[in-house]
Structure formats: structure tokens, C-alpha cells
Amino acid sequence: MAGYGFMGAAHSQAWRVANAFFDLPRRPVMAAVAGRNAAAVAAAADKWGWGESVTDWRELIERDDIDLIDICTPGDSHVDIAIAALQAGKHVLCEKPLANSVAEAERMASAARAAAKRGVFAMVGFSYRRVPAIGLARRLVEQGRLGEIRQIRSVYLQDWLADAASPMTWRLDKSLAGSGALGDTGAHAIDLAQHLSGLDITAVSGIMRTFVTERPKLAERKGLTGIASDEIGTVTVDDAALFSAKFGDGPLGSFETTRMATGRRNSLRIELSGTDGALAFDFEDMNVLQFYDATAPADTQGFQRILATEPTHPWVGSWWPPGHGLGYEHAFTHQVVDLLTDIDAGRQPRPSFDEGLRVQRVLDAIERSSNTGSAWTPVE
């Protein structure tokens, strides 16, 4: 694994427990984790159960005993690590968004297509796809239970930057993160909308805004790491983005993504409305799917609250008895399970780098629309 922060912890936990709960075709061995800070990455390796730590991701690529590279670094390094790994014959799991630009994502997708011909596969980590309630929603859409989808509404609301005194992080630096709320959380909303509907966004009209343009930097001297300093940093990414979307001649979509929604910790919400039904999901109530059957008798119509914890629901059967809810970490475990199962079967894991590229093109179109004030900007 390259990177060991927030996402590194989530991924590490997934690698640690996947084999204990699921009958995997291959048993993952957590060989090594890479990070630039020797002491910090060594502590992470010890905490999460990695065999050893290194300070240069290139050492992972060079090792013959490593078959898969899991990329959890900031977006600016995704392209170099992923392409080097794939060219070295190693499978790749890469956190979203795939890259910091369309050009980088195109290079990564091209490398992944070439590698797939040699039986080496790459997947991008849109983990919310693997929440059981979302898996159930996808199944209902595929069964035609919603009929023709007419509208899609999605918001991703967080508030961790609502306080103007919150310090700078790499996520607020465009050179490292690529974009702000748009790429960090908006990418999830875009991917879920396309994944659940089975349709691609073809045009967007959007606006982006940065509300707090300067924040205190974190001190990294005299043991003060993590403490706000007197030095001020410039925020170079968006705090919030709103956009409308066209899905070809099909549904219309409305989206909002922000890290400034006071009181909302992690509310990823999506609703699909069709001719025969509708569904709604909110990650702050992640074990529940709301489903409306418009074909039912009028006197019994209404949104049905489905607790997605039955063994028949996607991925749930390997966990706990019905009614015992799952949490944030479990989607990452399901990601590992599906990735290893597909690799062993010799088939392309999903979402592929091509699907990650598709999301990257939507992100790019939204930013271009906001910069130019264009009413509708096509997704290239």
C-alpha cells in the first residue's frame, strides 16, 4: 500500500479482515506500506499489521513478492504509481478520484487497458458502490422496478471545513488534490448516479465557490505537528459545487457537493424517480433503503423502509444476523472481496479505470462550466 493516512487506515482494515469473513479465492498478505515520513509510516505498519514499511513507493514496485499495489496517496501521485505498477505486472487498486486531471486519467486508463490484455487488472475505489443498501438499489433498477428513470437528485454534504479556523490540509491544495469538494465528495455522487442508473452524464451546468480563501497552516517543527501555526496558507480549491446534469435524452439530474454544510457530517444522499417507482438513500442512515412502488394499489402506496441487513442482500450474508447493521469500514472490505474474486477469475474488476476516467471527464466539464459561465458544457 502506498499512503497510510485516513484512507490508508480504511484500506488496511479491509485487507486485515476480508479473509476472516469471506471465502476468498486468494489470501491477501499485507507485505509492506510506503510513506515519506519514516517514523509515521513505521508506526502505521505496526498499528495496522503491515509486514514492513518503506519511504519510497518505488521499492514496492521493484519487489517480486508483491502482486498488487493499493494507492491511498494524494491525487498528484496516482498517475505515476499506477502506471509504474501496471507496467511492472502488478494489479492496482487506486482511490478516487482517479487522477488530478483528465490527461492523467487518460494515461492511467490506457495503461490499465494494455495491462488487462496481459491479465493484470486495475480498479478505482468508489467504495460507496459496495454499501449493501446501494447494492440492493442497483438490483432494483436492473430488475426494472423503477421503470423509466426521469430524475436523479444527489447531494454530498459535509461540514468539516465550515469553521474558517480549520487548518490547511493537502486536500485544500489544488496541486495535490486536483480539486476540492468537487473531486473529493462530488466524485462519489457522480459515480453513484451513473452506477445506479446505468446511464452516463453527457452535459453539465455548474458553479463552484470557495468561501474561505485562507487558512492557518499546520506546524511541523519542534514536535508541533498537527497544531495550527501563525503561518497562513492559500486555499486553491472549491469549498462547494452545484450543478445540473443531462443523461443524454434520459433523466435530468441535480447535484450538490460541499464541505461547508454546517451540521452534516457525512450525508451522501441520492434519489432516483421513475415511471414505476422511486428509491432514496442517505449514508447517515446507511443500512436503510427507501423504496416506493408506484405499481402497488393506491391505498398501500408509500415509501417502504427496507433494512438492508438480510442474508439475501448484497455482501451481508458473510457478516452478522439480520438487523445487526454494518458500518463505513465494511464497504472497503467488500471492495477487497470483489477485487480479489475478479482477479482470480481473470475478469475486469469494476469500477474500472475507464469508469474512473468517465467521472474525471464529468468533473472537468463542471469546472469548465463554472469558469466560463456556460449554460451547458458537454462531457467530452
The CA-atom distances, in angstroms, between 226 and each of 49, 82, 318 are 24, 29, 39
At 218 the pLDDT is 83
Could you give the domains of the chain? 6-128 (3.40.50.720), 131-324+359-372 (3.30.360.10)
At 226 the pLDDT is 60
DSSP state of 248: T
At 219 the pLDDT is 73
Q: Which residues of the chain have pLDDT under 70?
A: 220-229
Please report, as a single letter, which amino acid is at residue 177.
Answer: A
At 222 the pLDDT is 45
* pTM exceeding 0.85: yes
At 225 the pLDDT is 55
At 230 the pLDDT is 77
Helix (H, G, I), strand (E, B) or coil at 44: helix
Q: Report the candidate in 361, 343, 360, 344 with the shortest Cα–Cα distance to residue 122.
A: 343
| pLDDT per residue as tens digits for the range 241-259 | 999 999 999 999 999 999 9
Say how many residues make up the chain.
380
At 221 the pLDDT is 47
